[in-house]
Amino acid sequence: MSDQSYFRIASISKVFTVLAILLQEKAGNCSLRDPISRHVPELNERAAADPYTAEWDSITLETLASQLSGISREYGQCDLTDPLTDRVYLFDDPVDIGLPPVDDSDVPPCGRNRPGTRSCSRKEILDGLMKLPPPFEPNYKATYSNLAFVLLGFALEHMTGLEYADVVRSSIFDPLGMERASLARPPDTEGIIPSLPNDWNVDVGTYGSTGGIYTTASDLALFARSVLAKKLLDTTTTNAWFHPRSFSPSWSFAYGMPWEIFRTSDLLPDSDRIQTIFTKGGALNGYYSQLLLIPEYNLGLVVLVAGDGDATRWLREKVLKLLIPVVEQIARDQAASKLSGSYMSNDATINSSTTFEVSGSRGLVLTSWLSNGTDFLAQYGDMSNPKRKRGHVQLTPSNVSRGKNSEVWRAAYVLDELLPSDEIVNANLIVDVDIFSYASRSLEEFVFELDDSGRAIKVTLPGFRITLDRQADRETLDAFVRLREPMKPLGLTY
């Protein structure tokens, strides 16, 4: 086994389907707000014939991609007339558990796991949808649906005139250099095939857009890096792609497009700062996979397992708990080397300066802020916090620049402790940015000018109409040296 060995990645395929839709939108061939009926016109005909079918004109491409369509999860798959499903639930015949006999005409003719059963055709999927009244109305509640992504695959074929496999090949695999990614089954000698019952040989047919891709750890890692580096999409579209689309019953989980988004404050031993992890899991018989992206650290993880699905969870948890504190420390060292320290005016008649430090639990903070001899840090605290609650000034990157070799950061006053916890609606959870301006310029904008090594040499405060020069200090130099020391092994065993 190597990073070039093939696995089935199952529902991680959905991420590729959504990216293909976003690329078609970029090309002007669709809008996320298009109703699916515009790109799968057969749905209009079926809706006219059956008043109890889904509201196809109200179900958009975005609704489907966000698991908000309200339509059923499967057709054929998981039907209790399927002998394999019966074995999973430990009975021989549905009648044995109290279900009535059914007419053969109601039994799905395709998409099941009994010997000789084939995958469903496009027509059979669409006919089957008419037999499945939707569990929810559109946009009411998120519910997982593989059929939603089958429809998105049909839509891509309608937009492009290509088979789904050719769409993802031409728009994603080839541009990114994913030479070992395919909808076609690779040679058995190149795949990891577990000894337990598995779906290596199963032709998923029209379910390809929801779970049909074969690929390797190397190529999936390449894909993760490409998404984080915004290789195929612009920054604005990528940022929007990472936003949640709906809540879930759990405080810590939300649905994206098609991300499964988890938030936790349990990964850093010295901080309760929340990390947001964008994931997509996949499962077929014998194959379990996980793609995890953490944009805050520009970090991606890939877990592929052929065998016991519990190994996926074990690996994911072990690696996250070991890796995130290390990456966090690297990020702190980088910020300290890059930005922290004192900055002063080179005009001796102006007593203006700032001092930035990297706090273990708070990130980059302002610890001193003088303007024309006035303690503006105290003044800013009084303006931001009239109730005089204890807090600090934290800086947040804007992810924009003001010319070559620059970074823009924004200051915000953050309370050290929340106001009374018995409040149901606690407005102190909201952090406002860019509140104060002076003669049409922000007082909370800090523009760092960087040298060719990426280290700040000046900071401009537009609202104060001043640029301050960075002063060399021992702490900053020590951080700069530490950052260049060889990184210690993480202790991972593969």
252 three-class SS: coil
Give which of 360, 378, 396, 162 is closest to 273, Cα–Cα: 360
Is it the case that residue 484 has pLDDT exceeding 50?
no
pLDDT at 269: 87
Is it the case that residue 490 has pLDDT exceeding 50?
no
42 three-class SS: helix
pLDDT at 51: 63
**Alpha carbon separation from 40 to 36, 57, 159, 162, 192 (Å, rounded):** 6, 11, 10, 14, 36
Q: What CA–CA distance (Å, rounded) separates 462 from 156?
A: 47
Q: What CA–CA distance (Å, rounded) separates 400 from 421?
A: 35
Rounded to 5 degrees, φ, ψ at 264 are -145, 150
**Alpha carbon separation from 39 to 71, 148, 155, 272, 282 (Å, rounded):** 17, 13, 5, 46, 27
Percent of the chain with pLDDT over 70: 88
Lowest-pLDDT choice from 308-317, 378-387, 415-424: 415-424
Handedness of CA 423, 429, 432, 436 (dihedral sign): positive
pLDDT band at 481 (very low <50, low <70, confident <90, very high): very low
Cβ neighbours of 307 (radius 10 Å): 15
| Maximum distance among all Cα pairs of the chain, rounded to whole angstroms | 94
pLDDT tens, residue by residue, 268-284: 988 888 899 999 999 99
pLDDT tens, residue by residue, 467-479: 999 997 655 445 4
**For residues 218-244, average pLDDT:** 96
| The two three-digit tokens of residue 239, written as one number | 């940022």
Q: What angle do CA 135, 137, 139 make, to 5 degrees?
A: 120
Whether the ω angle into residue 258 lies within 30 degrees of 0, i.e. cis, is yes
Helical packing angle, 122-130 and 146-160, nearest 10°: 130
Task: With 0.85 as the threshold, say if the pTM is over it.
Answer: yes
Lowest-pLDDT choice from 1-5, 255-259, 420-424, 454-458: 420-424
Most confident of 16-20, 108-112, 118-122, 450-454: 16-20
pLDDT tens, residue by residue, 452-469: 999 999 999 999 999 999
pLDDT at 133: 87
**For residues 319-324, average pLDDT:** 94
Q: Which residue in this structure is represented by tokens 């999860």?
A: 73
Torsion of Cα atoms, 165 then 171 then 175 then 176, to 10°: -70
pLDDT tens, residue by residue, 116-134: 567 889 999 998 888 888 9
Q: Which residue in this structure is represented by tokens 């497009």?
A: 257
Percent of the chain with pLDDT over 90: 66
Lowest-pLDDT choice from 201-215, 227-241, 251-265, 387-401: 387-401
427 CB-near residues (< 8 Å, 6+ apart): none
pLDDT at 423: 66
| Alpha carbon 34 to chain centroid, angstroms | 23
| Helix and strand totals (H; E) in the chain | 15, 20
Q: Where are the alpha helices (DSSP H) in 339-421?
A: 376-384
Q: Is 197 exposed, middle or buried (0-12, 13-18, 19+ CB in 10 A)?
A: exposed
Q: What CA–CA distance (Å, rounded) separates 90 from 199?
A: 20
Segment (H or E) for 24? helix 13-26
Lowest-pLDDT choice from 15-19, 124-128, 482-486: 482-486
**For residues 408-418, average pLDDT:** 85
Instruction: Let me know: does 73 contact 207? Beta carbons within 8 Å.
Output: no
pLDDT at 28: 97
Segment (H or E) for 437? strand 437-438
Cβ neighbours of 99 (radius 10 Å): 12
| Mean pLDDT of all residues belonging to the chain | 88
Selected residue with higher pLDDT from 331 and 165: 165
**For residues 169-178, average pLDDT:** 98
pLDDT band at 193 (very low <50, low <70, confident <90, very high): very high
Rounded to 5 degrees, φ, ψ at 301 are -130, 145
Handedness of CA 99, 103, 105, 109 (dihedral sign): positive
